[in-house]
Each structure stands twice: as structure tokens, then as C-alpha cells.
Amino acid sequence: MLAVMHMVGGKAPKSDLAGIPKLLDAAGILDLPSAKVVVLDGVALSPSQPRRVEGHTLRTLWGELAWQLGGADAYAALAEADATGTNPGKDRLADLICRAGPCVILIDELVAYIRQFEEGKSLSGGSYDSNLTFVQALTEALKAAPQAVLLASLPESEREAGSARGVAALHALEHYFARIQAIWKPVSTEESFEIVRRRLFTEIREQDARDAVCRAFADWYVKHADDLPGETQEGRYYERLRSAYPIHPEVFERLYQDWSALPNFQRTRGVLKLMAKVIHRLWQSDNKDLMILPSSLPLYDAEVNAELTSNLPAGWDPVLSRDVDGENSEPAGLETIEARFGSVQACRRITRSIFLGSVPVSGNEMARGVETERLILSCVQPGQAPHVFRDALSRLKTRLTFLTEGNNRWWLDVKPNLRREMEDRKRRFKDPEVFDEVADVLRKVLGGGAISNHHIFTPAADIPDDWELRLVALAPNTGWTRGAGPNPARDAAAAILRDRGGQPRVKQNRLLFLAADADQVSHLKDTVRALLAWRSIEADLNETRIVLDNIQVQHVRQSKEQTRDTVSRLVRDTYKWLVAPTQTVSRKDGAVGDIEWEAQVLNPATVGLGKEIERVLAENEWVIAQWAPVNLHYLLKTWFWKDGAEDVKALDVWQKSSSYLYLPRLRNSNVMTSAIAAGASSRDFFGLASGKESDRYLGFTFGQATSPFMDVALLIEPGKAAAY
């Protein structure tokens, strides 16, 4: 109606009216036609307070109509009907309009005017029935006036009509207009884009800059097609971006598709009012977004916040302040902790987008909320990686109280999600229960590999002191720390190596240790508690101790499975230190040094932690699975054939290698047996005997292949064997 008033009012040149020159060209005319314009505003006019103009008293709508059409002369024709508040009839109205033509009659807020009349009572403006009869007569009169046009607006819903009398008036008016009306509504969201943009922005002067921005968005969407909705891959999406610029089309989609369904939210006026406040706040804060995205909405601003929540049921204020936006919100806190999120405000942008798509209007829980791909579309700008927003969404899922996810859709609700219940239950589980769960996971991932004896969080007294190679997994609270300073894992391993329940441990070279990374223990314990909490909720659900809806049931089971998978991964990531005790020998005087602790990082990505441990042991020669005879010869020469000794029992060599940390750590006694057998046929390494009586060797061989029994075998120094 504003556009028509300016177009035919004759006061504005056509060059000032956007789009009008094209219409004139299409119509084949050179200039705008002009017409008399009548404006009847149902809010400005009062049924009980007549308006005095140039000595005349205008009481009714038809009196006002006559005066605006032709002044005193035209009013004289309807003066009696205006004074009595009765309908002047369609013929008189048609004659009046034809004589004043061409004319345009604009009527706004007609229902707001008529609903003020009480049935059975008359005011200076007439009565309820006389006004409805006037509207009927006016619409009929327009048929006989070819040079007249009537434009009237009616509320879109009964809620906007107000009281019961307003609703009744709306229905009656819809009936009268329906017989001759030509309804106009925006036929597409794109037309709505244009309405809002023209009302909120001046004309775009730098169109090349607009096109460059829109092209950058469109190209970025094509590059990341797997993360975004399919419509962004169509060529026409670039045109949608251009038509909506500088507001992103997704903002309009959410407002027109979702928010417009709310009873209190007006489709055009509500969008205009909201976006005016949004744009003003973004301008004040010097926002640098390339377009105004759903994630750009400054929900931390009190006015923008109030504009949105005023259309929602009670209870949304804590949702916004805690889970969506603001300096003290959970998303803002997470961005402070993780710089990669904070650099692009990934968490707050995600939660703003979720909120905009969380309007509680759908009765179908399975179709509620916003899809993950659409959330990414609401956030990402050219140059930003979609996976950062996906990661932020995953982190928020485990931290927010009012966020719910189901069927790849996300929404916020005033009802707390099950996360709060889970967080409350986490406090029930103490370290012993947490450690039991970690131990169970470790047993599963340690299968295979060179070491078959695993002792997971086992007290020192219960770890055997024998010839078997053993891997001791230290408790999570005794984590390994890098560098100098306190090292709980080293201290715990040293205590086990030193003592076995009050007895000194002899076979120290049979123990290796697996330790948690001290920096990751806290996260592991917290995640295990979450798993135990989800299990307890599921158990209560199965026992009908709690009742949940289908979405919540699915959420519980999905959360349990996802948390279980996370725990398995975290156990691998946390227990990544393989630790071996060792001692070095001084080359100068042969003195044995203090116990030292060597640590190697395991690769958590390797399939099978046991196999990864075997690889690290072999590469660092911490455990010897195959031993060359020359290495055995060197060991014997260094430690056993000295100070007059010319032979040594093989069993004694094996047992000492199992006890002393400066000797090689063999996988088992078979390794030594194989080395002896491999070297028996050569005279370079050692001679062999099965025993010795005085100076005589029993079963002596030298340079002959044999398979000795290690329990009785004597290893003789090669020079002595040759002389013998």
C-alpha cells in the first residue's frame, strides 16, 4: 500500500521509485498515471470521536471517504448518512467514486476499527452492523467504478484479530472481500527477501562487492559439498544469495518457515522488527561477518533476546543465558578453553543457529530441530573449515543442559536433557568403580603380543616373582609425567620392582610397566563416570524405574554406545607409556649404576595394543626374542668367564639375566637354548658339556652340532675348550 501511494500520488518522480521504470516499459507507457489517494486507517480513526475538518464533522468511515475523495462537495452527498451513522448504499458510493476517479482507496487495520463496536449499540461512527454493511456496499460499488481500486489489509490469523468480536468481524470481512478480491501475498521466500532488504537497507551501491561475496560463498559451498545441504550445490543458490544479500537466505528460511508458524510472530512485521534490532546491534559491535548468518544473531543483546523470547512460551531465558550466548554461557566457556573454537566463535555460532531452528511448533518429534548439515551452512564462511564447527557440536553435545539430538537433528528445549541427570549420577561413582571399568577395557585391548602375563592394577604382593615375563599396568592415579620433577608412575613401578609384599623381589628383569599419561587421566576418569551413569539410566529404564519418550530412549542408548567407544579410545590414548627399568655399567671400573627408567610412547592408532607393545619392545631391544650366539659369547666373556672362571652353567646365566637389570632381558629360556644350539657347531663361541667331575668334562663337545639341555649344560670358554 505504501508503494501504491507513492506510485500514483504524483509527488515522487519515477526515477526515485525502485523497479517502476521496468514496469512502465513492460506496460508500454511513458509516465506514471496519477490518481486521488484515500487512506482510511482503522487505528488512527475513532468510532466515538468525530474528526472536525474545515467546519465539518466527520463521524464515519464513509464520511471520511467522501471528504478525501472530493472535499465539502463530495461530503455533502453523504452528510445525512454520516450524521445518522447509517450505510449510504452502494449506488451513492459508486456515483461518488466514479465522479472522483481515477482514485485509489487504501484501508488498513479495518478489523481493529470495527471490533470496537458493541453489538446492539451505536456510536458516532455508526454501529457494528452498519459498518459491515458499508464494507459490503463499498466492495459492490467498486464493480461499477472501473477507474477505482481498493486495497485493504486483513489480519492473517484469528489471534491477530484480537477478541471474539474481532474474529467475527474478520470472518465477515473475509466473506465480503472474497467475492471480488484479488489476493496478493509473497509467492516465494525470495520476494520476502526483497521486502525486508528494501525496508532495512538503502540500495546496494557496490554491486561488484556483493557479487564477489556471494560468489565466494557459493564456491566454498561447492568445495565442501559433503558437509552442506544439497540445495547449496545448485547454480541458482548463488542467485538466492544475491537476492538476500547482505542477509543470508538461511536466516529467512528459519524465520519464514519456522518462526512464522508461531501465533505471536508476524510474518513480515515480526521479521522486520527483529532484523532491525539485529542489524543495529551488529553495526554497533562492528561485526565483520561477510553476510548476516543465523549464527551472527547477537542473542547476547537484551533487545534481540527479548524480541525472540517474547514469541516463545515461558522458560527460555535460562536456556539462552546458559546454553546459547553470552559471556557466562557454556559455549563461551568452551571457546575460552579451546583456541581453535574461540578463533571463529564456533561454539556460540553453532548454538545460535540451533536456537533459531528450535521453535516448538511441530508436533512431530522426529522432524524437530535442524539437521547437522544445515547448522554448518548457518555458520561457515569462506575460508573456514566445516570440521571445526562439527567438532564444536560434538563437544557441546556432552556439555549443554538443554540441547537434544535425534535423527541427525539438533534442538534446544526448556526441559533439561538427560545430560543433567547423567551429570548428577556421575557423582555416585568413585575411583574403585572407575578403575574396574578401565581395567576391563585394558584387558580387551592388550590381547596378543609377546607378553601373555598381564597384571592390571595388581598390588605388588600379588605379582609373582618368577621367570615369566610380565607386564604390569599401573593404576590411573599413578600417571607418567614428562621431564624432571615428581613422577607417580616411576615411583609406583620402583616400589613394585623393589618389594613383593614385604619380601625383596629377585627376578627384577622380568617386569615391564604400562603407565597412563598423567595429563589425560582426569579426562579418562570423567568419561568413564559418564559411561557408568548412562548405563545406570539405561538399567532404570529397562526396569521401568524411569519413563522416557522415544527420542529420550534413543538418546540414552546412543549416548551409552558413543561414550563406550570414547572410553575405549581414551584408554588407548591414555595408556601410552611403555616403561622399562634398566641399569648401566661403567666402562671405566665396571661398576653398576642406579636403576634408570626408559619410557617409549605407544601409537594408539595401531590395531591391537599388545602388538604395538611387541613392536616397541623389539625396536628398542628391551625384550630379546632371537639371540645370536655371538651376543651370548660377549655376555659370557664380560660377566661369567673372568676372575679365573672358565665355564658357567647355562641355567645360571639364564637365571641371572632374569634378575639383574644390566643383563639382556630374554623373552623366555627358549631364547637362550636356541642361541646355544645355534652356536654349538662353531668353535668361535663356546664349548659344551653336560657336567664336570674334578677337571673332567662329561659329554664334552666343541664345534659339533647338538641340542643341549639347558638345565645341565656347561658353557666353556673357547680357549679352554680348545686346550681341553
Give domain status of residue 21, yes or no.
no
Confidence (pTM): 0.59
Q: Which band of pLDDT confidence, cut at 50, 70 and 90, is reported for residue 717? A: very high
Q: Is the pLDDT of residue 464 over 90?
A: yes
Phi, psi of 142 (to 5 degrees): -65, -25
Could you tell me if 650 and 676 are in contact, meaning their C-beta atoms sit under 8 angstroms apart?
A: yes
CA distance 154 to 135: 13
Mean pLDDT calculated for residue range 10-32: 83
Please report, for residues 179, 252, 492, 612, the alpha-carbon distance to residue 186 in angstroms, rounded to integers and kept in the order given. Answer: 21, 13, 74, 65
Mean pLDDT calculated for residue range 681-686: 94
- 5-18 burial: b if 16+ Cβ within 10 Å, else e: ebbbeeeeeeeeee
315 sits in the region (left: phi over 0; alpha: psi -120 to 50; else beta) called: left
Are 249 and 165 members of one domain?
Answer: no
Are 458 and 554 members of one domain?
Answer: yes
pLDDT, tens digit, 9 for 90 and up, residues 93-139 = 999 999 887 999 999 998 888 888 887 778 888 888 888 899 999 98
Give domain status of residue 421, yes or no.
no
More confident residue, 177 or 661: 661
Q: Which band of pLDDT confidence, cut at 50, 70 and 90, is reported for residue 246? A: very high
151, 178, 205 - which closes a domain: 178
Give domain status of residue 25, yes or no.
no
Q: Which band of pLDDT confidence, cut at 50, 70 and 90, is reported for residue 355? A: very high
Q: Which band of pLDDT confidence, cut at 50, 70 and 90, is reported for residue 501? A: confident
**Residue 247 structural domain:** 189-416
Q: Is the pLDDT of residue 675 over 90?
A: yes
Q: Is the pLDDT of residue 577 over 90?
A: yes
Q: What is the pLDDT of residue 362?
A: 52
CA distance 323 to 375: 16
pLDDT, tens digit, 9 for 90 and up, residues 206-242 = 999 999 999 999 999 999 999 999 999 998 999 999 9
Are 382 and 441 members of one domain?
Answer: no
Are 242 and 120 members of one domain?
Answer: no
Mean pLDDT calculated for residue range 259-263: 80
Q: Is the pLDDT of residue 264 over 80?
A: no
Q: Which range has the worst mean pLDDT, 50-64, 416-430, 667-681?
A: 416-430
Give domain status of residue 595, yes or no.
no
Q: What is the pLDDT of residue 158?
A: 73
pLDDT, tens digit, 9 for 90 and up, residues 380-418 = 999 999 999 999 999 998 788 888 887 788 999 888 778
More confident residue, 706 or 656: 656
Mean pLDDT calculated for residue range 629-651: 92
Give domain status of residue 607, yes or no.
no
Percent of the chain with pLDDT over 90: 53
Q: What is the pLDDT of residue 360?
A: 67
Are 469 and 387 members of one domain?
Answer: no
Mean pLDDT calculated for residue range 442-455: 86
Q: Is the pLDDT of residue 365 over 60?
A: no
Are 66 and 87 members of one domain?
Answer: yes
Mean pLDDT calculated for residue range 277-298: 94
Q: Is the pLDDT of residue 185 over 90?
A: no
Give domain status of residue 26, yes or no.
no
CB neighbour class for 31 (10 Å; exposed up to 12, middle 13-18, buried from 19)? exposed
Are 687 and 547 members of one domain?
Answer: no
Q: Is the pLDDT of residue 90 over 90?
A: no
Are 442 and 405 members of one domain?
Answer: no
More confident residue, 591 or 465: 465
Are 447 and 374 members of one domain?
Answer: no
Could you tell me if 142 and 148 are in contact, meaning their C-beta atoms sit under 8 angstroms apart?
A: yes
Helix (H, G, I), strand (E, B) or coil at 546: coil
124, 153, 178 - which closes a domain: 178
pLDDT, tens digit, 9 for 90 and up, residues 583-632 = 988 777 778 888 999 999 999 888 788 889 999 999 999 999 999 999 99
Q: What is the pLDDT of residue 553?
A: 85
Q: What is the pLDDT of residue 707?
A: 83
Question: Which stretches of 162-265 are DSSP H helices?
Answer: 164-178, 189-200, 207-223, 236-244, 249-253
Give domain status of residue 347, yes or no.
yes
Are 193 and 173 members of one domain?
Answer: no
Q: What is the pLDDT of residue 458?
A: 94
pLDDT, tens digit, 9 for 90 and up, residues 557-569 = 988 999 999 999 9
Are 436 and 396 members of one domain?
Answer: no
Q: What is the pLDDT of residue 2?
A: 87
Please count the structural domains in the chain.
4
Q: What is the pLDDT of residue 489?
A: 94
394, 416, 438 - which closes a domain: 416
Are 639 and 663 members of one domain?
Answer: yes
Q: Which range has the worst mean pLDDT, 181-195, 304-318, 342-356, 426-440?
A: 181-195
Give domain status of residue 321, yes or no.
yes
